[in-house]
Structure 1
Amino acid sequence: MPLGKFHFQMFFYTGGGAFIDGYIIGIIAVALAVLQPQFDMSLTVVGMIAMAMYVGMFFGGILGGYLTDLIGRKKMFILDLSIFVIASIPQYFVTDPMQLVILRFILGFAAGADYPISATYMAEFAPSKHRGALLGGLIALWYVGYGMSFLVGYWMLALGEDSWRWMLASSAIPAIIILLARIKMPESPLWLASKGKEKGANAIIQGIFGKDVVLSESFEAKEKTSFMDMFKNGYGKWTLFIALFWTLQVAPAFAIATFIPEVLGQLGFADGNKEYLGSTIMSLFYLVGLIPAVYLVEKIGRRPVLIWPFLVSAIILVILGITSSWQMSFTYSITLFVIYGIFNTSMNIHQWIYPNELFPTKIRGTAVGFGTGMSRIGASLSTFLFPMILANYGLEMTLYVCAGLFFAGFLISLVMAPETRNMTLEQTSALNKSNDKLSNKPDSKTGII
């Protein structure tokens, strides 16, 4: 089907979870700066609060992805957003840091579950020629949420000592709005067909696109969802690739994002709330990276839009590390962080593209959830260790460590990343069955490698 109004509607409904995820991750960065002196928290406790969400995302991704394939996309949509609402509000009333750790874990569980739900839903409705842009574009709403959190947090600083309570509880507002919107969403026709309900699947399709439209993908009746299928029949190499590149993207990026006010403070911008203003400016400019990325991923392919941003991100952090003690200007530091963020954002779109394209419908959500979970192990460790490395070894060494992780991602992607541009989901999920070596030159007519 051609790109239409329904696809854009689904884009915003599915991307709502990414918005909340970005908002929750961003708001804690501002809230921690206000919260830490009040509770006199050690670096270990600060690290636990920062990493709790990512630990929750590990369990949420693994379990949520499997349940998405087992019981359906829509049921998980409703359950997931309900958890967001229920866990957001009590953050206002916490009296002990460990209470906040528990609530952040629950929020992380919901965020981790939302990745496979949202991504698989969008992939299964998206036209082949626009699938990469639609899936990759979902990350834009993550950055909108992340940037919005700094604006809200910066504004709420004026509320005084309890401002952090309002900041953290404010995530309930977008969660309620998106929950109400998602109630109207239909079930995924591809999921229904994979469970032997092809008649119901075609009824949904015809209700949306017209009576002459039917499923184009063939299914074996009632395809069984098995968690271990990710590691069988040639899918193991894609499971490994997704876990590696996703982890090496988010581990340094989330650590920097969570503690960016502290990083800017160590660069000499701790006076007059400049570190918060700088964080807001940077997060808003990060969206710029999506504009060329969602275009190029369909124009030149998936591989180059993943490989080279890994390398550029590593180089920029090395430069920032070298000049970290030179007392450079605010404009210089922000400019480099903006360039880093633009390239980092452009490669992040693959978190939504590759996992959905390389696996069949019956295990698509399971695979996305597994990738989400594995990547959050790296994110949780990096956010836990980041403040300790920063305190014990300084900003320069911390930036070098982050750069090293990005460079490792560059090497792995150079070797393992396939090209899936212009292919249907049937074709991309069958790449593991081909004996041909992967090439980044798809056939000009079919896009098949």
Structure 2
Amino acid sequence: MNGQAQTFKMDDAPLNKFHLKITALTFGANFSDGYALGIIGIALTLLSPQMHLSPLWEGLIGSSALIGLFVGSLVLGGLSDRIGRQKIFLANFLVITIASVLQFFINDPAILFMLRLLIGFALGGDFAVGSTLLAEFAPRKYRGFLLAFLNVVWTVGYVASTLVGYYLEKTGPESWRWMLVSSAIPAFIVLLLRIGTPESPGWLISKGRLEEARQIVKKYIGANAEINIPAISAETSVGFKALFTKKMWRRTAFGGLFYACQVLPYYAIYTFLPIILNDMGFTENFLADLFLNLFLLIGTAAGLWFMEKFTRRGFTINTFAILTISLLVLSVTHHSSQMLAMIAFIVFTFVMAAASNLTLVYPAELFPTEIRGTGVGAVTAISRIGSAIGTFLLPISMDSFGLGSSMIGMTVVLLIGTIISVAWAPETKSLSLTEASDPLNDASHPLYVEGSPLKEEGVKK
């Protein structure tokens, strides 16, 4: 860098076909994750009796993909800051496709556990890398909507698995094999479509590969598109350690804890939704399940509007509060009043679906370009610790303490999320991700250079 800021303006570029394409390609992880979570819950109802699974094994298999997500998002998110987003973006779905096919042939719960760990590992990497890549390409005006729409697709994947599982279940006792292998179909389609995806210009710029970034911006965003190139100190701290510097640790902690507190009850409840509905006394599980799935879809769609209407901070705090109250009501009424419990469940489902849009928007906005992949990977990993623990423990907890006590435990988690959000949630809605990585603009940024000769000149917004 020679002290003069060069720019390719990209944050305010008009939405074009490429932005829509990169969004569509990023949908793959979200659809596959929703589908994988939903289909294992249905498959376990057939698989458990055949393999004589204990609650421990049910918890392990139900949470296996989430454990893999933890490791994959942490490892591959950090790796993407070193070798780039594009390579990992493509390789993830090669792994998912192969492992999904191999599930058809298993006869041992330990092997199924390992295959789903592998699927989760690749999905975790894709959560970190996919949302990072999309955030770095998306114009500021549309970023929240495009990232939030990924959650709609997650929900579509989850609902699709319910429908597929319902119809495959009628094909015989081995139908769980077809349920599990069916996840290979969307994975293979995504793999083919991702061939040729370009590298993130923001990442290339952070590595000093300016000409490559210019060419990609010119080809995919437009000849007049620009992006700020920050002046970075020679003492720049990047990598995993940078997430815990004095100026960044609070954002890292908030990102991981808010994410974990939200997805722990979400993944646990909806992985074992058929079992929960049965415990609540619903004899027609499929109809009740489908009804709640409908509110999942409505909630995620409504969440797109809420994301644009409200601030990130306000939306986070208020949804956590509503979720805490509704799950508490469900916890204490699930046996005494089926109607009141179902109303509380509907409210919980709708608000949880809407709020889950935040998990695909907030993390990418918390970190600068130089550590965004590492940051998103880290907070995703933290969240998956929570979701894996919740999913592993729920069948054991229900078997030992009952549904009401298990739900109260998850209510406490949501209350903690409310408190954390009130204390630490930052406002990032109008943030330019390019400017966020510019030390000249943000004194709270870990790469800020005090006394930079360009500081007084400012940067055009």
- Above 0.5 in TM-score? yes
Q: Percent identity?
A: 38
The alpha carbon displacement at 1:278 in A equals: 2.2
Q: Distance in 2 between matches of 1:176 and 1:167?
A: 16
Stretch moving more, 2-11 or 239-248: 2-11
Equivalent of 2:354 in 328, 346, 354? 346
- Secondary structure in 2 matching 1:349: helix
Query: What is aligned with 1:263?
Result: 276
The alpha carbon displacement at 1:326 in A equals: 2.1
Q: Distance in 2 between matches of 1:371 and 1:301?
A: 21
Equivalent of 1:161 in 137, 157, 173? 173
User: Which one-letter code corresponds to 1:127 in the other structure?
Assistant: P
Say yes or no: does 1:314 pair with 2:324: yes
Stretch moving more, 79-88 or 422-431: 422-431
Structure 2: any 5+ residue segments left out of the alignment? Answer: 1-12, 446-458
Query: What is aligned with 2:295?
Result: 285
Q: Is the 8 A contact 2:80 2:129 kept in 1?
A: yes
Say yes or no: does 1:337 pair with 2:350: no
Q: Is the 8 A contact 1:250 1:375 kept in 2?
A: yes
Q: Is the 8 A contact 1:81 1:178 kept in 2?
A: yes
The alpha carbon displacement at 1:211 in A equals: 2.2
User: Which one-letter code corresponds to 1:260 in the other structure?
Assistant: L
Equivalent of 1:411 in 419, 440, 443? 419
Equivalent of 1:372 in 380, 404, 407? 380
The alpha carbon displacement at 1:221 in A equals: 9.6
The alpha carbon displacement at 1:337 in A equals: 2.2
- 1:398-420 per-position Cα deviation (integer Å, ceiling 9, x unaligned): 11111111111011101110111
Equivalent of 1:253 in 266, 270, 273? 266
Query: What is aligned with 1:441?
Result: none
Query: What is aligned with 1:243?
Result: 256
Q: Distance in 2 between matches of 1:118 and 1:386?
A: 30
Query: What is aligned with 2:286?
Result: 276
Stretch moving more, 426-435 or 36-45: 426-435
Query: What is aligned with 1:442?
Result: none
Q: Distance in 2 between matches of 1:424 and 1:403?
A: 35
Q: Distance in 1 between matches of 2:345 and 2:88?
A: 36
Question: 1:45-444 alignment to 2 at 5 Å?
Answer: 45-218=57-230, 220=232, 225-269=238-282, 271=283, 274-326=284-336, 328-329=338-339, 333-428=341-436, 433-434=443-444
The alpha carbon displacement at 1:389 in A equals: 1.1
Aligned in 2, Cα 1:244/1:214: closer, same or farther, shift over 3 Å? same
Structure 1: any 5+ residue segments left out of the alignment? Answer: 436-445
The alpha carbon displacement at 1:388 in A equals: 1.2
Q: Distance in 1 between matches of 2:337 and 2:177?
A: 34
Q: Distance in 2 between matches of 1:246 and 1:88?
A: 27
- Secondary structure in 1 matching 2:39: helix
- Secondary structure in 2 matching 1:187: coil
Question: 1:11-22 alignment to 2 at 5 Å?
Answer: 11-22=23-34
Q: Distance in 2 between matches of 1:22 and 1:303?
A: 26
Aligned in 2, Cα 1:65/1:40: closer, same or farther, shift over 3 Å? same
User: Which one-letter code corresponds to 2:296 in the other structure?
Assistant: Y
User: Which one-letter code corresponds to 2:314 in the other structure?
Assistant: P
Query: What is aligned with 2:55?
Result: 43
Q: Is the 8 A contact 2:329 2:341 kept in 1?
A: no
Query: What is aligned with 1:439?
Result: none
Q: Is the 8 A contact 2:206 2:370 kept in 1?
A: yes
Q: Distance in 2 between matches of 1:143 and 1:195?
A: 36
| Count of equivalent residues | 432
Q: Distance in 1 between matches of 2:262 and 2:80?
A: 24
- Secondary structure in 2 matching 1:423: coil
User: Which one-letter code corresponds to 2:346 in the other structure?
Assistant: V
Q: Is the 8 A contact 1:78 1:179 kept in 2?
A: yes
